[in-house]
Every structure is written in C-alpha cells, then in structure tokens.
Chains A and B, each alone.
Chain A
Amino acid sequence: MPSTEHNAPSLLDGSIIGPAIIGAFTKLDPRALVRNPVMFVTAVGAVLTTIGIVTADGDRGFIFQLALWLWFTVLFANFAEAVAEGRGKAQAESLRRARRETTARRLVNGREEQVAATLLQKGDTVVCEVGDIIPADGEVIEGIASVNEAAITGESAPVIREAGGDRSAVTGGTTVISDRIVVRVTMERGAGFLDRMIAMVEGARRQKTPNEIALTILLSAFTLIFLLVCVTLWPFGFYAGTSFSVPVLIALLVCLIPTTIGGLLSAIGISGIDRLIRRNVMATSGRAVEAAGDVDVLLLDKTGTITLGNRMATEFHPAPGVAAERLADAAQLASLADETPEGRSIVVLAKEKFNLRGREVAEPHAVFVPFTAQTRMSGVDFPALADQPARSIRKGASDTIKAMVERLGGQFPEAVTRSVDEVARSGGTPLVVVEGREVLGVVQLKDVVKGGIKDRFAQLRQMGIRTVMITGDNPLTAASIAAEAGVDDFMAEATPEMKLELIRREQAGGHLVAMTGDGTNDAPALAQADVGVAMNTGTQAAREAGNMVDLDSNPTKLMEIVEIGKQLIMTRGALTTFSIGNDVAKYFAILPAMFAAVYAADGATNGPLSALNIMALASPQSAILSAVIFNALIIVVLIPIALRGVAYRAIGAAALLRRNLLIYGLGGVVAPFIGIKLIDLILSALHLV
C-alpha cells in the first residue's frame, strides 16, 4: 500500500536541467572534485590531455577530440549530481519559501514583538493565531489549535496541536487555521528539519554514509590499480620498442577507472534521500537511510498499522434467557452518545442485525453516562416515567461490570463468563451489557486487520524481515490478531520499558531493529532502535529521539522506508558492477589499438596483437575515441537509473543477486561491446578520425 507520493519532477524538467547545466560547470572547482577520487583523476587526465593538444607531436585533431570527451566525462558526472540535487532541492525549496517571508510574534516578558523568523533562537516563545505561519519547529506550551500541515505533508486535512500530551509538536512552515497557541522554539536556527533536509540533498555539504565511504575506498583502489596498469605500460612499451603517447594512456586510464559509478555515486545518495522526502519522510542522516536497508526486525504497533485504527462490534452474545434483540437494543441505547468508533459500530451493528434504527441522541430524558477512568464503563439512565420504570444500562469490561453487578446483589451468569472468555480467546474484546443488575450479554468487539497486510508481511518475510506486533492487548487477543495478520511474533501488554527491552534483546541477537513511535514514552525505544521513525503528530521528544520523521504519521510507511534503504545500496552495487564489467570491452577496444604495432615484423604495420581487435574497429584512433565517448555517454544514459534507483523486488537475497548479476554484471560486460562498435561505425561514417 504505497503512501501518497509527491509527484517526482520529470527527468527533463527545464527548471531543473537549466541550473544543473550551470552546476555541472561550477562543480569543476577542484575543491569539490577532490571529494570524489575517481572524477578527480579524470579531471586531471582531461587537463593533461588538453595541454597535450599543444605539446604532443601526434595527431592534434585526435588529441583535441580526446580532450573534449574527457571534459565531457567530468561534466556529465557533475551534471548527474546537479540534477539529483536540483530535484531534492526543488522539494525542499518550496518548504523553505514559506518560512522566508515569515515574521514571528516573539513573546518577551509577556509582551509581543515582531521579529523575522530567521532570527529566532532556541528557547524563544512565539504566539501564533489564525492565519499565522508557525515560524520554527517547536512545541506548543499553551493552547490548542488546528494546524494545516499541507506545506510539508501535502495533506490538506488540518490536524490538532495542543499543549501537553502527544500532539504538542509543530513544524515550522505550517499554518494555524483556528485558535491561538504559544509555541516554544525547540530548534536552533539552521538545525530544523527543513534545514537538515536541504543540507542532505546538497552535494557539497552532504556527509558521506558508511557504505558510501567503503565504496569510495573500493573505487579508489580500482583507480589506483588502473593507474598502476597504465603507468607500467609505458616502460613495458619501452621494452617492446614502442612508445605509447601520454594522451592515449590517459584515455585508457579514464576508460578503465570506474567513472560510471564514480560519476553517479553522489547522485544515487542524494536521490535516495529525495525518494524518502517525496514519501514525506524526513531522515536526520543518510546513515539512517542506509541502516533502513539492513533492518531485519520491524516492531509495528498493532493499532493503525496492522489493524484499522478501531475495533468494531461484530457479534451479540446474549445471556441465557435474554433475547438477542433485547441485548442489541440495550447496547445500542447505551452507545448512542458514545462518539468513539467502537460505540458507533455497536449502533451500526444493532441496526444491521435487528433493524433497530439508531434513535436520536436527544432521546427524551435520557441521561448519558460517559466513560471515565474511575468507573471504566459508560451507559445511559432513563428516569422513571409513567409508562415505564427507571432504566439504567451500562456497558464495560467484564470484570468492572461483574464487580458492579455483584455489588448490587445480582448474579453474573456462568454462561456469560464463558462467552467473555470465548470472545477474548478469538481475539475480540468482550463488552458486557447490563440493565440494572441483570446481565444481558456480551457484545463482541473485534480488531479488523487491514486488507492486504498479510501479503505484505509475507513479502517482508521473503526479504528476510521479521515483523513483531506490539500491542497493549492481553496475550490471548494479541495471539489471535497476530495469527490473523500473519506477523511473525507479537508482544502483548507492551509497555514502553518492554519495548526498549525487546529492542535491546533483538540487537544483542545481531538484528537491526526499526520501529515507529509517537509518544514521549516511546522516546527511549526510538533512540535505541537502529531506525526509529517518529510520527509527525508525536511529541517533540519522540521526534528528537528517532532518526526519521514521517510527516504523514503513517506507521505502515516503515516498510517503504526499508525498501528505499535497500534500493539505495542496491543501486550503488548494481552500477559498480556495471562499471567494472564495462572494462572488459574497453580493453578489447583500446589495447589492440595501442599494441597494434608492437612486435610487428619489419615493414608490417600490424603486429601480432592486432588479433585482439575482436570488434574489428576501424582504426586505432577511432577505437580509442569510441571507448572514451562510450565511457562519457554511459554516465548520461544511466542518470535515470541513478535517480530512480534500480527496481527492488521482494525476493530472497540469492535470487536478487542472480538477477542483478545477470542484468548489471553480464549486461555491463556485453553493452559496451555493442556501444563501442556503434560509435566506431558512426565516427568512421562521419570521418571524424
């Protein structure tokens, strides 16, 4: 069940391409290039070749073309990064725009003053009234208001924010649409979610993630190996009586070093974050996104994630000697004023089963007794009237009702106790209905498992992810729902401490754990989890403890986050493999060209190693140029894959590896043979060499 996704800007969106082209050139700054060893070497090669146009004694036109394409290689890589940045920033900018024009009403010693939102400090308090844009991330310390968070969530329905409790956090850039609240700013300027998001999609300020660092090391090693290969070719040539020209050696080097993945690496990282943002999830670090891909245990809150938010009445179990209709009628009466979804579902069920029309709440003289923490029951009282005696109907948990009935001197029938147990065993919640001291029977409330969730868990299991349902329900109920939903494990009667304990235990067993949470008491568990996704509706404490915030507050999204994490790493792996695979064909293009004259018999132009020209490329120069051009163009061709990510499928690891090895490994070996041959044909046809 994919969540609403903001439309991804088209890959050819002019508003992104334009600045990206400029960005491709500004990123030629050596200080920026040096962050990426592969592209830095390429740029150095391009500079040397450019100098070679003047100094080399070979064919200048050829060297000029080489230099041109080497520069293109660097520019294309810069362009890829710039496009990815552009797409991420486009999203972030629209958020930031809101704040830029905001003025805040800061409270100083009880007096309001106008101040630019950008000047707010952590700890300032501000007042927001209808129509005000909340100037910074913060916590409501006074009042209650409905807030439109469409600016960051895209969801137009307003949400309630109030002081205290679990709904006190507000995000800068959202708009108050009713009432008045006082907000204490909790984020340092520049450290708010928006700022962090923007920082993560800007290449220059982006921190490299652990996996990215490791990959960069590997790519640097490949670069060094090929540097060694190319540098030693010169003395080897000396032995063989051949002198290889420096531009050609540079061309070979640039073709061999993994420019494809090197050029796309940061674009992949940025677009991974971007994909999260488009699903309305904000991560506080790229590290968290990567960790999401490694997660193998998901702790999921039952309510809202596995089941629809509310329990529904599904059955009436009358006590012996009581007509089912009477039970239904009493239950309906008791629930008329109960605006909770459970209450409403009882009214609806009675209507469906016995055609009892829901009477108006304004039933004459009825006095509704709301649920309180003390009585732990609700109901309705009718005063004694001429035509009928006084009635008192109550519904509640069986133990509370039993205590009351017995206090009133009534009997709690054995059969009802059995019904209660049966309902509980089957995963339902029994609600006992009494009139006076007569027990009428049991209303069965049941959690309704979301459609399709079982398949989803089966998929997760194939991905190697174990799901654990967290619920406050008793073990019987929990077990039954767990079985129905198909989760692997459950934790019943869970407390925040138990959650934390469970996470620690799983981690000690070598698992990486992800969870969602919203309450302040979830904060320790969120902090302990490897991936803690806080609901945006949650408290500031929860949002600070987690390493991601879901603006939609949709707990199901954890699964999408995991997929995004996996996709991010997979894309890197696939393109690395592709990049290395390409080298085989490039060898067969460039080496025969370089070695053509080596050990040639006297007077012959072609030596023994011409036999390696298995692609039958037109001439040594066109062979070398074709390889260099292919090497540059492949970066552009792969930009869409880098930005979208390779397709993730919920199949086992071995199957996934086979698939990717075939597509990107074998494909990486085969594709350049075709590509280089085609470019060679075009070059020869155009007489460019």
Chain B
Amino acid sequence: MTFNAILYVLLIVGGSALLSWPLGRYLKWAMDPAASAGGGNRWTRAFQAIGGPLTLKQQNWKQYLLALLAFNAVSFTVTVLILALQQYLPLNPDAKGELDPSLIFNTAVSFVTNTNLQHYSGEVAMSYASQLGALMWQQFVSAATGIAALAAMARGLAGRTNMGNFFVDLQRATFLILLPLAILVAILLVFGGMPMTLQGSAIATTLEGIQQTIARGPVAAFTAIKQLGTNGGGFFGPNSTQPFENPTFWTNVLEAIAITIIPMACVWMFGRIVGKMRHAGIVFVVMAVLMLTRIGFAVWFEQTPTEAFNTLPIAQNVGNLEGKELRFGAAAGPVWAVLTTSTSNGSVNAMLDSLNPLTGLMPMIGMWLNEDFGGVGVGFINMFVYIVLAVFLAGMMVGRTPEYLGRRIEAYEVKLAVIATLSHSFLILGLAALFAATPWGTAVLNNVGAHGFSEILYEFSSSSANNGSGFEGINDTIFTVPWNIATGLVMMLSRFIPIILPLAIAGSLAAKRPAAESAGTLGTESGTFGVMLLVTIVILGALTFFPAAALGPIAEHFQFYH
C-alpha cells in the first residue's frame, strides 16, 4: 500500500470520524431535545402543527411502529403513482416514456426501503419529475425513517416506555438533519463543477463531427442527498463514476465523506440518548475496525493488475483499472466500494463487477454484516442485534444472566434477535440458491463460472442489506420480471423486519426492572466487550457466508491467481 493511499484513507475515514462527533451532538439536539431546550422545542411545536393532532401524543413502541409503517405505506403509494404517471407529468424535457410495472414496483420498494437498487438507468428511463419528486423525495424520507427508528429504539433502551412520536421524529430528521446537510453538500458540489439544471440533454458535435447527446439535469441536489442518506441511487446509470455525478477528485472526497458521516454520527446520537458515551465509543471502534480492515484488504487486493491483460503487451505496473475513473486516484475505487457497502449506501465510483475477485468479496462482507456504521439509523439498529447476541454469550461466560444497558436479556429478546439475524441470512442465501439453480438467474448473467455466481450472490446481498449497489453485470436491460419481484420482496422484508424486531426488543427491555451494575456485571464500556462483540460479528458472519463466498469470489481467485 503506498503512502498516498494510506493518506487518502486517513483523510476520508478520519475526516468523517472527526466530523461525526459534533454532528452526533447536533443529531441528539435535533432528534431528542431536552425538555428544557428552547430551540429544539420550538421546532417540535412547529412539527406538531404540520403533522396535526396525532403528533401531540407520545407513542409506545407498537404505536410508533404502526405510524412508521403507515407513513411508509402512504409514501410507497405516492412514489408508485409518480413513477407510473411520469409520461403525463411536467419536468420531462427529454420525453421519457412509460415504465414496466414490475420495474415500478421494484423501484418504488427500492427507494422506500432506502435501498436504491436500480434496475433502470436514470438518464435513460426517468423524467426529472420522477428523479426529484419520487426518488429524491424518498431519499429524504426513507433516510429520515431510519434515523427516527434509531431515535425511538434509543429512547426505549434509555428506559422510556414512550418512544416519542414518529410523525414528529420524521420531520426532525428530514428538516433539521438531512435538509441542512444536503443544502451544504449540494452547494459544495455545484462549486465542484456538478450540473444543476432543469434543461434537457445537450447536443454536441464532436471534433470528429459526431453528434453526442449529453444527458444532464438537477444532478447536484440529487447527489447530495443520495450520499448523505445512505441512499446510493444514482442520477445516472453508472452512479458516481459518471463524470457529471462526480466531476473531480475533490467532489469524490466530499461524496465519500458524505457516505459515512451520518451513520457515524448516529452512533454518537445513540450514546447521547442512552447516556452511555463510552459504550458508544466502544461500538464506534468496533465498527471502525471492521470497516478499516476491509478497506485495507480491498486496496491491497486491487493493486493486482487486470488478469485479462496478462498475455497482452500492456504495461501491468498499475493496479486493476477496469471500471475505474482516473481522476479519483488509485485507492479511491476500493475505498469507496467498502464505504458504500459498509453503510448500505450503494453508490459506486468504480464498477464493482470489475473489481478483482477478493476485492469484490469485501463489499459483499460489508453487506453480510451490514452494521459497521450501516444505513442511517438502521446501521446501529442492526448492530444492536449483534450486541444482544454478544451480550448474551458474554454474560453467560461470566456467570450472570446477561444484561444490556441495565436490562436483562432473556429468552424473548434472544428470540427476536436471532429471527432478525436469520431473516437476513435466509433472504440472501435462500434466494441466491433459487436463482443460481434456475434460468431466472443463470440466463441473464454477464459473466460465467464463479464470477457469475458472485453476481447472483451480490444482487441478493445488496437487496437484503438495503444497499443497492450491484455487480452490474446483470445489467439493466436484462433484469427480468422475476428479478424485479424477488429483489423487491427481499428489500421490503429486510427493511422492515430489522426495524420491527429491534424496536420490539427495546420496548420489552424498557418495560423491565432495571438491573443495577456491579463489578460482576459485564461492562459494555470495556475493551474486552469490544473484542467480544467483534468476535461475535466476525464468527457469525463467517460461519454463515463462508461456503457461498468460497464458491464465488474465493473460487475465482484461486482459479486465476496462484
């Protein structure tokens, strides 16, 4: 690893980590204002006025969850309507036509669930009304849903049986957190050279006299929230590899930092709401270790030159450049690939399908674990499930009924936690198995052998992790109805199961008699606990996914690299 690659990683990860600290403090202020905080409460009253009478009530976990689901149902419907009617709606300068129904379903689910898996190419299929009114809107509210869910869970774990009010929380997250940050990032991107226009495509006549249609649009506004809300759905088909969506080295740095900053800040927000900053710190370190390890491996593996060129007179003194942009520098591709999959963002600045096999394994691992920082809000919620399991095992090893934040973890909590873990594994492995064994999957692959299997595995990993990135080999034109429906269902289940169950756990813990801490209690603030958590995550993930990984990227690696 060269010196400037290390420097680059330090800039991106270190920079986001540093910024996440004050942002975490702000998130707490915005999401969970203290009763005495004047500013926060003025906003609360404004949001109550907007939301109507239902927003005045405090909700228990069930009411909160029902409100969350109701809003998601409504917003799903609105999204479907906009997409289905785009040919009749304004803001369509390039006259985009009708979309396939299964694609509308898939896309609407994809954006409602904060996944942003794209079985279409933005500049080809979508009008500006769809891009802004349906997709960008969901990039705000689906991200806000995640942050709201975490705030509610944290309140529960802090021992409050009233988890707040979803309709207020959603507005807090949208208007107080996402909106100001998006405006800031969008303006910086505009100054970085990104297009922001409502004009249709430009037509150029190249120096060699060919007509070139150059798609453009309100890219800066879209890209800012795409990155910040762990959405990842690109304005253009190839996402942030497209020069308009990521014009320079520095816009790339900004976009990369925007990927992880809110997920990181969510950890601090959680710590502040439950009042356990040291615990949040330990979890943050565990997440950072997992992410940095994968970044290290990814950058390392990607220094192997493109295998396919080995027999040709091509200088193999640089790493693998297939699918990468030169302006971002050598380490940018693999670093982003890990960041975007660690956080369930799913945007790309290099084509993941063309990464070296073991480099490509790193994003997959990120989505399998789906918690080292994870999606906005939901990343920590996923981590919470691992914490429950780690606490349970660790508690038993020190001879006590396990407890977390002073509440005992018993059969009910363990049951819900394992169902959450199981559903993620089941949706990935089960559906990958279904598509690997049937023409649904095998007929549309862009690559053969082990790499083709990786493509199938990746697609369901990405759907189930609500990530949205793809081994785009299964490209947009050959994504078929079975893929649209299967991934749509996976995205829906794996969005809401991991919100419902942890909220139920938090609700159950909140109702318990708090247990006092003593020297016999396993502190969740110690390094030892951090190690335990790390080991639990790694072992659980490895045991579940190692065979599949072996048949995909690992097999491909040993097939070609000795």
Contacts and interface: CB of A to CB of B under 8 A. Distances in A.
A179 B39 CA distance: 84
B389 interface: yes
A661 B522 CA distance: 13
Given A229-B543, A661-B532, 9 more contacts: A217-B414, A218-B414, A225-B421, A228-B422, A232-B430, A235-B433, A235-B436, A293-B401, A607-B559
A224 B543 CA distance: 12
Interface string B112-144: 000000000000000000000000000000000
21 contacts: A211-B401, A214-B409, A217-B415, A217-B418, A221-B422, A225-B421, A232-B430, A233-B547, A239-B437, A240-B453, A464-B520, A511-B516, A595-B550, A608-B556, A612-B554, A652-B520, A653-B519, A653-B520, A654-B522, A654-B526, A661-B535
Nearest to B516: A510
Interface stretch (B91-99, B102-110, B148-156, B390-398): B390-398
A581 B539 CA distance: 8
Which of A215, A225, A256, A565 gathers most chain B CB within 10 Å?
A: A225
Contact of B429 (A228, A508, A664): A228
A595 B529 CA distance: 36
B518 A466 contact: yes
A676 interface: no
Interface string A542-580: 000000000000000000000001111110111011001
A587 B543 contact: yes
Interface residues of B, number: 68
Given A236-B453, A595-B555, A608-B555, A570 B546 contact: no
B518 A573 contact: no
Contacts of A226: 543
A599 B555 contact: yes
B49 interface: no
A581 to B, nearest CB: 7
Interface string A17-51: 00000000000000000000000000000000000
A177 interface: no
A293 B411 CA distance: 17
B544 A510 contact: no
A464 B555 contact: no
Given A211-B396, A511-B516, A567-B399, A221 B523 contact: no
Interface SS majority for chain A: helix
Contacts of B432: 232, 236
A238 interface: yes
A214 B392 contact: yes
Contacts of B397: 570, 573-574, 577, 656-657, 660-661, 664
Contacts of A507: 513
B87 interface: no
A296 interface: yes
A241 to B, nearest CB: 9
Interface string B531-549: 1100100010011101110
Interface string A579-614: 011011001000100010011000000011101100
Interface of A: 210-211, 213-215, 217-218, 220-221, 224-226, 228-229, 231-240, 256, 290, 293-294, 296, 461-466, 507-512, 565-570, 572-574, 576-577, 580-581, 583-584, 587, 591, 595, 598-599, 607-609, 611-612, 648, 652-654, 656-658, 660-661, 664-665
A577 to B, nearest CB: 6
Given A217-B418, A591-B546, A657-B522, A570 B396 contact: yes
Q: Binding site of B, secondary structure by majority: helix, strand, loop or mixed?
A: helix
A654 B415 CA distance: 26
A290 B546 CA distance: 36
Interface in B492-543: 513-516, 518-523, 526, 528-529, 531-532, 535, 539, 542-543
B181 to A, nearest CB: 38
Contacts of B516: 296, 509-511
A607 B555 CA distance: 9
B399 A565 contact: yes
B523 A510 contact: no
Contacts, number: 216
Contacts of B523: 653-654
A611 B558 contact: yes
B532 A657 contact: yes
B450 interface: yes
Contact of A240 (B522, B532, B551): B551
Given A217-B415, A228-B426, A232-B430, A653 B522 contact: yes
Contact of B539 (A508, A510, A584): A584
B519 A510 contact: no
Contacts of B411: 210, 213-214, 217
A398 B42 CA distance: 70
Most buried by B among A228, A239, A573, A598: A239
Nearest to A252: B547
Contacts of A214: 392, 409-411, 414-415
B453 A653 contact: no
Given A239-B437, A587-B543, A296 B520 contact: yes
Contact of B422 (A224, A239, A463, A654): A224
Nearest to B413: A214
A508 B554 CA distance: 55
B45 interface: no
B364 to A, nearest CB: 14
B543 A583 contact: yes
Nearest to B552: A236
B229 interface: no
Contacts of B401: 210-211, 290, 293-294, 569
Given A228-B430, A599-B450, A238 B406 contact: no
A229 B544 contact: yes
Given A210-B410, A225-B544, A598-B551, A464 B519 contact: yes
